[in-house]
Structure 1
Amino acid sequence: MRIRPRQQLLELWRAHLETSYRDKAWVWGGRDGSNSICDAEQLMCLLYPATELSNFALDPESIAMADDVASVMSVLGDDLWIGEFLVEVTGQFFDRYTGADGEPIFAGGSYFRDVGQGAPTDEQRKLDVVDSYSMSLSLCIAVLRFVRGLQRYLSGEVRLQAGRLDERIEELTPRVQTRLTAAMTGLIRSFVIHTPHFSSAAGQEILTLVNQTGSAFKDVIADFSGTLERIRVQARNDIRSGQTPDTDLRDDNLLFECGWSWGIDRNAVPRAGSALQVGERPGFAVTEPYLYFTLVALDGVKDLYSQRTQEPDLLEGEQLQLADSLRKRAELTQRYWSTISRFGTGRWPLEDLPWRTSDGKQSDYYSLAVTSFLIQDMLDRESTTDLARTVAVLTQLAQRARITNREVPDDPAATLHYPGITLTLKGSQDVDDGPLMGYHVADFTTLLLKRSLQAARLARDVETREQLLDLAATAMEHMHDRAVTRGRSSGLWDNLAPADNVAHPSPSWFLTERMMECLVVAHNTFSRPPLATAAMVNSATGRISEADHLLNQEFLEVGDAAYSPQRRELEAIERSLDRARAIAPKRPHTAESLAADALMRLNSLAYAREDANR
């Protein structure tokens, strides 16, 4: 299946508005009801492409809205009416998830699940969760970008005509900034460094994972300490705020792992000087990183220090300090998991499928999460050193998850896609004497699709790039088969049901938002110049050089007649070769085709002259 990000994003928008905009009013919620996460996901499906991709921009300050975008959005109105409606809907979100005391709400709500010990209590459902912090962070950045565009447009007479919209933006912006600050604070206090002793159960799991050569444990411990020494020093020196007081990273008998837990760490110290409750609120999450929550936290944090965030100077005051703290944690975490995934000199721990966590859990989803850390690390460093082995892991995971292979009846791999893996939120049972809660994660295919498209940017040879794009296309086809095909939500996701595979009347915003992210990544990947290796450029240059030399010879044979057919043909060939020479470094095969055409035309001229001479 061919991936066409522009057309597919527009189709997603059209289906989104058909579902969410009814009788000139916004309808919140989906299959999982309403909570601070899925309602943010619902908004992000519109705002993220509009602020991330210039040709999807919806604010009037941008260049004229594309005709196809305007056609899709016409149900909301034109120009300012679109902006006014989106500002109003965004305000509704902040009304819904701001408490009477003005504090932002990050509760998991209906996303918290029963894991066989009873349904979560009302108090438990009010617990903050990292997924909400991260999604709110990305949403706030998108909203700020959008309203800044509107504000730049609202000047002079336009401001007088749209005075009410200007007032709404002025009312909304401080609330967005408050939620952004709170989300950043919550992420800092949810960051954890787990330091098990090597003899503990968790320590033994880590040592077994990294020991792919069967070495003695004392040698593995020494290698672990040596390999991760720089990361350990960085953690000890840079990571202080909101960290567990008794974490001792100087003891070489303690192994360590870092990342984000599911919520505020139960041992996190209050954040000094914070004016928000999230800076002082007690935590309940166990001091152990969860791969899923670490992954979503990193995605949110990267929005903070992306180029598009820095250009309009969206962050201010305390937020700049919080962003710097989160950046250090994100870089530390990414380096840690990238290093652990390739630990040792033999087979990588990542290649020993499935990945095993320090609490003894194992799943192909965890393998894909760690692969994601590795790919993102290679992207940041623009390194292709281990790309081939990483692609092999992605391919094997796609086979094991029955994305590229055929699914059989009662296939256990099917549970990766529905209902997904269930994370047990350790520590949640300490709230209100309630049961241990769970959290369903069912984005295996979209995660594979996203990382395949990102890795394709790194490929420096045609074979690897084609392998990754073929993998992405297969994952896209798998998701296409899961789209809702009838009813109001037709075109959104996800059509899987527990038993009869009947389309659910409401969409899963969890999965739809992730499909939107994949299409944005595809758009950015396809927008980059095509692959141009040194060998391809050399081949094109060789043909251009030969054609140029033959062209010079032909010019020696024609007279000075300015309008002779031969001279006009040679001048046309010259222009074609100039074009080929200009584009050869970036589009060598196109340049080679132009040179080949020039060679054919030159050969025809030479043959005609030789024939005339005979």
Structure 2
Amino acid sequence: MQLQPRQQLLEIWRAMARSSYTAPDWRWGGRAEKNSISDAEQLLCLLSPATEVPVFRLDRPDETADDVIAALQRLGDSVEIPKLLIRVLTGYMREYSAPDGTPIFAGASYYAAPDGQILDEDQRGLDVVDSFSISVTLTVAVIGFVRVFRTVLTRENLRAEADELERLASRRLTAAMVGLLRSFAVNVFSADSDFGVELCRMVNQEGLPTRQIVEELREALREINARLRDDVQIGSGAREGSELDNPNRLFECGWSWGVVKNAPAIELIEDVDVGVQREGVAQAAPYLYFTVVALDAIQTLFSERTRLLGLLDETQLKLAQSLQLRWELTQSYWSTVATFGSGRWPLEDLPWRTTDGVDSDYLSLLVSGMVIQDLVTKRASDAELIRVGAVLEDLAARARITRRPFAGDPALELHHPGFRLGLELQDQPGKEFLVWTAADLSPQLLRRSLNLARLIADNTGRSRLLDLSDELWAHLFSRRIPDGEARGLWDQPSRAYPQLDADPDPAASWYFTKRVVDCLVAAARLIDSAPQPSEQLTRLAADLIVEADHLFDQEMLNGSSDSGRPLQAEREQIQVLLQRARTVRRTQPGTAVSIAQAVLRRLDKLSAARRPAKGIT
């Protein structure tokens, strides 16, 4: 793989330190006006690698790598960097809290008006799932960072600052989890409604009668239906139970764009206060973009790091259980729909079309991410994973990343300005109230490709995905800002697509840069993971080890017991190598093959040395 995450992340950190900090002040904002999401994205460009990739850790000054300190030298030394982060993170938590302490999750400058007009403060102040989700990711990282850094603090005032940050982060985490529970939506509709017709048309890849498709789809979703009806008890979504009982109904589930209309407040234990739980206004129907964003965030709540460090308190653990239930049901639902039938998958019929009649390759990418995660949960075969990999390859070509665009190519709109989502109110269905733009197709495609490559054991399929990842990274690398204070950060799409208008003085897009950082973190995990063992190499290694064992036993039987020390040392080394080959045979079969071949060569030399020389008579 050509992508080298350590070097690239260090370059990003160096550029980020230059553009974000002028002592003693941290500089917020970038291409977008500062808001709760953009500022969190900026912070996560530092915190994600620092908390997820061991070689980038900043919470133990004695263990901080020299090249990391050099990249962030503008922020201080190994001791000053985490102290600065404590101050900056505390400032963020306070900035996005109301006077009464209620955490703020407004979309603000990330919202736009459908008619291009200026939004009023009420519209800008509406909560959005993207802010709930990124707050979960950020606060879990912050709490973990503080827990470790506190162990090396000795000064009482620094420990007090760390305790205050953890308190603020924990409150924001709880509030964000409550917001996600109140933003979950189950949309129930009849099979002959517009929604039902579109869903059946999407999943019917074999031209079967609609009645048969409806029956088979309901049967495939029966368990998910039952769990939504019986197990979802708190937050939004629970009220749909009676409608789900109707055998003539279909449904879809996921996250709306904000707290849904009439979502009940979440009852918390008496001493837990997250402030005001505001009334929802969002449409009670899932949006694929916000569903995927929420799923990615929820996954951090039950990650290995979160469990090992015990980052969640009692209340958060209960909320996490409810969110994990929705996480499982949502991924299972979309994976079932996307892989429905015995022939071609609906996912493979590009582009994906939603129940409200919108189709786009970007939507196919969103669905493929949910399919990948669900296939991992079900321990699916390489053949199924490779089919998703083929979809990612097709999407890269259709998005004009691995193929050149033509004049006026509409595919370029997915890169700039991006995929446009119309956000609707529950009280005004069919009418756009706000607009949200998603312009992360390229980095999201790379991250899914890297994650999928880590799961596939088949060498051919894995190699194809790694080749695709290299092409995607080359595309992303070409989009870096080349000049100015934001040089080395993202995004300038006109450098990859000259057909697009260039920004003469672009500022950093933390939205895009954070997603590139996510890709590099995924690449670091891929490189750091154990190689996927090949069954063919495993069998070959076993055969070679059996032969080497047998020949070694012959050597021990036929060799002289009073041989010199050099020969005895050689036999001992061979024995050690054989044991090593046995140890790594299942996890690193290629290594075992190499070791076994070296042993066989050494045994053959010993055997040849005992044979009498044949002279000429």
Residue number in structure 2 paired with 1:414 = 412
Residue number in structure 2 paired with 1:28 = 28
In structure 2, C-alpha distance between the alignment counterparts of 1:569 and 1:51, rounded to whole Å? 46
Which deviates further from its counterpart, 602-611 or 435-444? 602-611
Instruction: Letter of the 1:250 partner, please give it.
Output: D
CA 1:312–1:572 in 2, change beyond 3 Å: closer, same or farther?
Answer: closer
Q: How many residues align?
A: 605
- Tell me by how many angstroms 1:189 deviates: 0.7
Residue number in structure 1 paired with 2:71 = 72
In structure 2, C-alpha distance between the alignment counterparts of 1:605 and 1:246, rounded to whole Å? 77
- Tell me by how many angstroms 1:166 deviates: 1.2
- Tell me by how many angstroms 1:526 deviates: 1.6
In structure 2, C-alpha distance between the alignment counterparts of 1:47 and 1:372, rounded to whole Å? 23
Residue number in structure 2 paired with 1:343 = 340
Q: Are residue 206 (structure 1) and residue 199 (structure 2) matched?
A: yes
Which deviates further from its counterpart, 282-291 or 239-248? 239-248
Deviations 1:518-565 (A, max 9, x none): 111111122121121332111012222223333344445544455465
Residue number in structure 2 paired with 1:184 = 177
- Tell me by how many angstroms 1:256 deviates: 0.3
Deviations 1:382-425 (A, max 9, x none): 32262122122111111111222222332221112111101111
| Contact 1:577-1:595 at 8 Å conserved across structures | yes
Residue number in structure 2 paired with 1:545 = 546
3-state DSSP class of the match of 2:254? strand
Residue number in structure 2 paired with 1:3 = 3
3-state DSSP class of the match of 2:119? coil
3-state DSSP class of the match of 1:612? coil
Which deviates further from its counterpart, 412-421 or 540-549? 540-549
| Contact 1:262-1:425 at 8 Å conserved across structures | yes
Which deviates further from its counterpart, 458-467 or 238-247? 238-247
Q: Are residue 38 (structure 1) and residue 38 (structure 2) matched?
A: yes
| Contact 1:484-1:490 at 8 Å conserved across structures | yes
Q: Are residue 249 (structure 1) and residue 244 (structure 2) matched?
A: yes
| Contact 1:338-1:374 at 8 Å conserved across structures | yes
Q: Are residue 426 (structure 1) and residue 421 (structure 2) matched?
A: no
Give the TM-score, by structure 2 length.
0.93
Residue number in structure 2 paired with 1:371 = 368
Q: Within 5 Å, give how 1:50-69 maps onto structure 2.
A: 50-60=50-60, 64-69=63-68
Give the TM-score, by structure 1 length.
0.93
Residue number in structure 2 paired with 1:593 = 594
Aligned identity (percent) is 42
Residue number in structure 1 paired with 2:86 = 87
CA 1:580–1:186 in 2, change beyond 3 Å: closer, same or farther?
Answer: same
3-state DSSP class of the match of 2:444? helix
Q: Are residue 14 (structure 1) and residue 14 (structure 2) matched?
A: yes
In structure 2, C-alpha distance between the alignment counterparts of 1:499 and 1:576, rounded to whole Å? 59
In structure 2, C-alpha distance between the alignment counterparts of 1:256 and 1:104, rounded to whole Å? 33
- Tell me by how many angstroms 1:278 deviates: 7.0
3-state DSSP class of the match of 1:486? coil
Instruction: Letter of the 1:33 partner, please give it.
Output: E
RMSD of the TM alignment (CA)? 2.4
| Contact 1:529-1:586 at 8 Å conserved across structures | yes
Instruction: Letter of the 1:95 partner, please give it.
Output: R
- Tell me by how many angstroms 1:336 deviates: 0.4
Instruction: Letter of the 2:395 partner, please give it.
Output: L
Residue number in structure 2 paired with 1:123 = 122
Q: Are residue 474 (structure 1) and residue 475 (structure 2) matched?
A: no
In structure 1, C-alpha distance between the alignment counterparts of 2:96 and 2:26, rounded to whole Å? 16
| Contact 2:486-2:506 at 8 Å conserved across structures | yes
In structure 2, C-alpha distance between the alignment counterparts of 1:271 and 1:546, rounded to whole Å? 66
| Contact 2:75-2:81 at 8 Å conserved across structures | yes
Instruction: Letter of the 2:73 partner, please give it.
Output: S
Q: Are residue 197 (structure 1) and residue 195 (structure 2) matched?
A: no
Residue number in structure 2 paired with 1:496 = 493
Which deviates further from its counterpart, 84-93 or 388-397? 388-397
CA 1:479–1:491 in 2, change beyond 3 Å: closer, same or farther?
Answer: same
Aligned counterpart in structure 2 of residue 219 of structure 1, from 187, 191, 212? 212
Q: Within 5 Å, give how 1:167-316 maps onto structure 2.
A: 167-243=160-236, 245=239, 248-272=243-267, 280-316=277-313
- Tell me by how many angstroms 1:378 deviates: 1.7
CA 1:567–1:251 in 2, change beyond 3 Å: closer, same or farther?
Answer: same
| Contact 1:119-1:435 at 8 Å conserved across structures | no
- Tell me by how many angstroms 1:149 deviates: 0.8
3-state DSSP class of the match of 1:196? strand
In structure 2, C-alpha distance between the alignment counterparts of 1:489 and 1:301, rounded to whole Å? 31
- Tell me by how many angstroms 1:579 deviates: 2.4
- Tell me by how many angstroms 1:277 deviates: 7.3
Residue number in structure 2 paired with 1:323 = 320
In structure 1, C-alpha distance between the alignment counterparts of 2:240 and 2:391, rounded to whole Å? 37
CA 1:503–1:142 in 2, change beyond 3 Å: closer, same or farther?
Answer: farther
Deviations 1:472-493 (A, max 9, x none): 2211111111111222222211
| Contact 1:134-1:297 at 8 Å conserved across structures | yes
In structure 2, C-alpha distance between the alignment counterparts of 1:278 and 1:293, rounded to whole Å? 24
| Contact 2:261-2:280 at 8 Å conserved across structures | yes
CA 1:504–1:554 in 2, change beyond 3 Å: closer, same or farther?
Answer: farther
Q: Within 5 Å, give how 1:369-448 maps onto structure 2.
A: 369-384=366-381, 386-427=384-425, 436-448=433-445
- Tell me by how many angstroms 1:311 deviates: 1.9
3-state DSSP class of the match of 1:84? helix
Instruction: Letter of the 1:251 partner, please give it.
Output: N
3-state DSSP class of the match of 1:68? helix
CA 1:278–1:499 in 2, change beyond 3 Å: closer, same or farther?
Answer: farther
In structure 1, C-alpha distance between the alignment counterparts of 2:506 and 2:393, rounded to whole Å? 33
| Contact 1:484-1:493 at 8 Å conserved across structures | yes
- Tell me by how many angstroms 1:273 deviates: 5.0
CA 1:197–1:119 in 2, change beyond 3 Å: closer, same or farther?
Answer: farther
Instruction: Letter of the 2:160 partner, please give it.
Output: E
- Tell me by how many angstroms 1:613 deviates: 4.2
Q: Are residue 352 (structure 1) and residue 349 (structure 2) matched?
A: yes
- Tell me by how many angstroms 1:329 deviates: 0.8
Instruction: Letter of the 1:191 partner, please give it.
Output: F
CA 1:78–1:117 in 2, change beyond 3 Å: closer, same or farther?
Answer: closer
CA 1:78–1:561 in 2, change beyond 3 Å: closer, same or farther?
Answer: farther
- Tell me by how many angstroms 1:442 deviates: 1.0
- Tell me by how many angstroms 1:113 deviates: 2.0
In structure 1, C-alpha distance between the alignment counterparts of 2:246 and 2:406, rounded to whole Å? 49
Instruction: Letter of the 1:532 partner, please give it.
Output: P
Instruction: Letter of the 1:300 partner, please give it.
Output: A
In structure 2, C-alpha distance between the alignment counterparts of 1:585 and 1:277, rounded to whole Å? 50
- Tell me by how many angstroms 1:567 deviates: 4.7
- Tell me by how many angstroms 1:201 deviates: 1.1
3-state DSSP class of the match of 2:613? helix
Which deviates further from its counterpart, 592-601 or 475-484? 592-601
In structure 2, C-alpha distance between the alignment counterparts of 1:483 and 1:121, rounded to whole Å? 34
In structure 1, C-alpha distance between the alignment counterparts of 2:265 and 2:550, rounded to whole Å? 74
Which deviates further from its counterpart, 499-508 or 45-54? 499-508
- Tell me by how many angstroms 1:19 deviates: 1.2
Q: Tell me, which stretches of 5 or more residues in structure 1 are unaligned?
A: none
| Contact 1:495-1:504 at 8 Å conserved across structures | no
In structure 2, C-alpha distance between the alignment counterparts of 1:141 and 1:580, rounded to whole Å? 41
- Tell me by how many angstroms 1:511 deviates: 1.0
In structure 2, C-alpha distance between the alignment counterparts of 1:409 and 1:208, rounded to whole Å? 32
| Contact 1:429-1:436 at 8 Å conserved across structures | no
In structure 2, C-alpha distance between the alignment counterparts of 1:429 and 1:114, rounded to whole Å? 18
